[in-house]
């Protein structure tokens, strides 16, 4: 996986290296910005090729979290933790307790939670060492637990807006290609199926793909085939950088709206999508449901308030698309500009209400 960090990217405030040989913990915490509050962002755990690759991933993900939290109107800055999964046997509980100690050493400047490769159980082990963690088991009637359903709901609301603007219809009968059936992707398929969409899915785990085929009457393709399939909406829900130059060139979808972070391999692909007449819903805007749930858990908001904020993601996308149309820019450029103005204190947005 390769990313292009452009000159426009804002450098992080702090990079914390993770190195605990006893537990096998290796990785990085990136605090991109704390201007709006503690740097908040999940902990990703996967087998990276190198620590350099892990660091690049963390840097871009942390910047995306700064923008995501700003547009979501949350009292959070942006951060991210990336842990390299050890190649040999290891004690997972001990590793995440060690990670918790690293989080604790930052004295509340970073709040962690689940991300790709981590779970509620992992966050429980983190909580043995620090209180600056969310994504813990939910109490009855309160936010918490697995944030995936909230992320999926936000993506659905954004997709409804994007499809209405670009295709002039609701989701019934619209063909959606969902790439990646992890917790969020599978939950999104469930919501889309209930909304009457036709589904084509791509998932390397054959058992999961077969389950989706049965439950949602979905057609199954490879990820490469899905990129060029005749779909109305392409929903990337796997890892980032899927929309590179070649993918954009072959894409037939008129709407791109999914849960994956950092879908654009470079910012140029956002411009290329617009030039091809495809409406791109900026990923860090539409996938904010999970971090909204994290904020609700951390600050003690009610489930009703959390749901209202997640349901409002469609309105936030509408605002960004209106700004893009008015300025004659691509949606990702409008989203970046709005987020940067909020972080700089130059824009007090009604979205924070």
Which entry of 22, 68, 80, 211 is annotated as an active-site residue?
80
Closest CA to 275 of 223, 333, 200: 333
Burial of 146-162, coded b for 16+ CB within 10 Å and e otherwise, reads: bbbbbbbbbbbbbbbbb
- Is residue 102 within 8 A of residue 18, CB to CB? The reply is yes
Q: From CA 297, how far away is CA 76, in angstroms rounded?
A: 13
CB atoms within 10 A of CB 245: 12
Name the one residue in this structure whose structure tokens are 């899927």. Answer: 242
Distance CA 171, CA 163 (A): 7
SS3 of residue 14 by DSSP: strand
The one-character DSSP state at 264 is: B
Cross-strand bridge partners of residue 231: none
Catalytic (active site) residue 346: no
Beta bridge partners of 44: 82
Q: Which residue bears the tokens 């923008």?
A: 67
Pick from 281, 288, 239: nearest CA to 257: 281
The DSSP code sequence of 108-143 is: TSEEB-B-TT--HHHHHHHHTT-S-B--PPPPTTS-
CA distances, 211 to each of 43, 151, 247 (Å)? 28, 21, 27
Which tokens belong to 13?
Answer: 């405030």
Its sign, for the CA torsion 189, 194, 195, 199, is positive
Residues annotated catalytic, as ranges: 80
């Amino acid at each position: 996986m390769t990313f292009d960090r452009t000159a426009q990217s804002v450098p992080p405030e702090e990079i914390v290296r993770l190195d605990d040989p006893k537990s096998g913990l290796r990785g990085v915490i990136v605090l991109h910005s704390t201007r709006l509050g503690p740097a908040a962002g999940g902990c990703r755990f996967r087998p990276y090729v190198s620590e350099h690759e892990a660091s690049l991933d963390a840097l871009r993900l942390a910047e995306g979290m700064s923008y995501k939290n700003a547009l979501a109107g949350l009292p959070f800055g942006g951060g991210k933790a990336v842990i390299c999964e050890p190649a040999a046997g290891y004690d997972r509980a001990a590793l995440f307790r060690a990670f918790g100690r690293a989080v604790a050493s930052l004295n509340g400047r970073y709040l962690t939670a689940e991300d790709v490769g981590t779970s509620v159980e992992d966050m429980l082990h983190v909580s043995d060492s620090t209180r600056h963690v969310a994504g813990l088991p939910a109490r009855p009637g309160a936010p918490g637990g697995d944030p995936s359903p909230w992320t999926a709901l936000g993506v659905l609301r954004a997709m409804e807006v994007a499809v209405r603007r670009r295709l002039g219809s609701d989701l019934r009968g619209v063909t959606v290609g969902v790439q990646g059936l992890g917790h969020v992707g599978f939950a999104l398929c469930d919501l889309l199926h209930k909304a009457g969409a036709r589904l084509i899915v791509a998932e390397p785990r054959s058992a999961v793909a077969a389950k989706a085929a049965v439950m949602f009457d979905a057609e199954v393709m490879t990820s490469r085939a899905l990129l060029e399939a005749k779909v109305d909406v392409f929903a990337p829900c796997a890892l980032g950088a899927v929309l590179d130059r070649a993918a954009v060139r072959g894409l037939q979808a008129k709407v791109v709206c999914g849960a994956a972070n950092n879908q654009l391999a470079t910012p140029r692909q956002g411009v290329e999508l617009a030039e091809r007449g495809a409406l791109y819903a900026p990923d860090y805007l539409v996938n904010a449901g999970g971090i909204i749930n994290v904020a609700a858990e951390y600050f003690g908001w009610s489930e009703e308030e959390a749901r209202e904020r997640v349901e409002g993601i469609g309105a936030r996308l509408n605002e960004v698309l209106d700004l893009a149309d008015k300025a004659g820019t691509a949606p990702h450029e409008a989203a970046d500009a709005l987020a940067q103005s909020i972080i700089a204190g130059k824009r007090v947005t009604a979205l924070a209400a």
